[in-house]
Structure 1
Amino acid sequence: MAQQKQFDLNLLRVFTTVCRTASFSRAAEELDLTQSSVSNAIARLKRTVGEELFIRVGRGVKPTAAALSLYQQFDEPLSSIEQTLLGLNKFDPQSSQRTFHVYANETMIGLLHRAAEQRLRSTDIKLIFRETPVQEQQLQHELQLENIDLAIDMNKPDLTSFSSQEVMTDKLVCVVRKGHPRISDSISREQYFAEKHIILNLKRGNLSVVDFLTDEVLPTREVYSEQASLLAMLATASKSDAITLASYSYAKEYAELFGLQVLTLPLDVNPIQYHMVWSSKLSRNPANMWLRETLLDLVESRA
Structure 2
Amino acid sequence: MKPDVERATSRVDLNLFRVFDAVFRAGSLTQAAAQLHLTQPAISNAIARLRLQFGDPLFVRDGRRVAPTPRARAAAPEISAALQVLQQTLATPQVFDAASSSRRFVLGMRDVLEFAMMPRLTQELLAEGPRLQLQSARIERRRLDRELAAGALDLSIDIPVPVGEGIVQEALFEETLCVAMRPDHPLARGRLSVKQWLAARHVAVSSRRLGLVLEDVVLQREGLRRDVAVRCQYYYAACHVAATSDLLLVLPRYYGEWFTAHLPLKLVHLPLELPSLQVMLYWHRNAEHDPGHAWLRERVRTLTRRGAPRP
Letter of the 2:202 counterpart: H
Structure 2: distance between partners of 1:280 and 1:38: 30
Q: 2-side partners of 1:191 and 1:26: how far apart?
A: 59
8 Å contact from structure 1 (residues 152, 274) kept in 2? yes
Residues 215 and 269, structure 1, Cα contact 8 Å, conserved in 2: no
Deviation string for 1:157-206 (max 9, x for gaps)?
52345443332222322222334323445322221121121222233755
In angstroms, what is the RMSD of aligned CA positions?
4.2
Which residue of structure 1 lines up, in the alignment, with residue 158 of structure 2?
153
Q: Which ranges of structure 1 fall in alignment gaps of 5 or more residues? A: none
Q: Does 1:116 align with 2:121?
A: yes
Q: Which of the numbers 58, 64, 70 marks the counterpart of 1:63?
A: 70
Post-superposition Cα deviations, 1:59-103, rounded to whole Å, max 9, x if no partner, equal 411234xx789x59x769947964872665432111112333323
CA shift for structure 1 position 246: 0.4
Code of the aligned partner of 1:286: P
Query: How many residues get paired?
Result: 294
Deviates more, 1:114-123 or 1:54-63: 54-63
Query: Letter of the aligned partner of 2:70 in structure 1?
Result: P
State the 1:280 CA deviation: 4.1
Q: What amino acid does structure 2 have at the position aligned with 1:151?
A: S
CA contact (8 A) 2:81 2:286 kept: no
Bigger Cα displacement from structure 2, 196-205 vs 241-250 = 196-205
Which TM-score applies when normalising by structure 2? 0.72
1:94 to 99, 121, 127: 99
Shift of 1:39: 4.8
Matched, 1:211 2:213: no
Structure-2 separation of matches of 1:271 and 1:33? 49
User: 3-state SS of the aligned residue for 1:174?
Assistant: strand
CA distance in structure 2 between the aligned counterparts of 1:81 and 1:123, rounded to whole angstroms = 25
CA offset digits 1:192-243 (Å, max 9, x no partner): 12112122223375544523666626525141x4433323322332333321
Q: 1:245 Cα deviation (Å)?
A: 0.9
| Identity across the alignment (%) | 21
What TM-score does the superposition give when structure 1 sets the normalisation length?
0.73
After TM superposition, the structure 1 = structure 2 runs for residues 43-58 of structure 1, keeping only pairs within 5 Å, are 43-48=48-53, 51-52=55-56, 54=58, 56=60, 58=62
Kindly state the Cα deviation for residue 247 of structure 1 after the two structures are TM-superposed: 0.8
Structure 2, gaps ≥5 residues long: 1-6
> Matched residues in 2 for 1:282 and 1:162: separation?
10
Q: State the secondary structure of the residue aligned to 2:174.
A: strand
Distance 2:205 2:24 in 1: 33
What is aligned with 2:227?
221
How far residue 13 of structure 1 moved from its aligned partner, in angstroms, is: 4.4
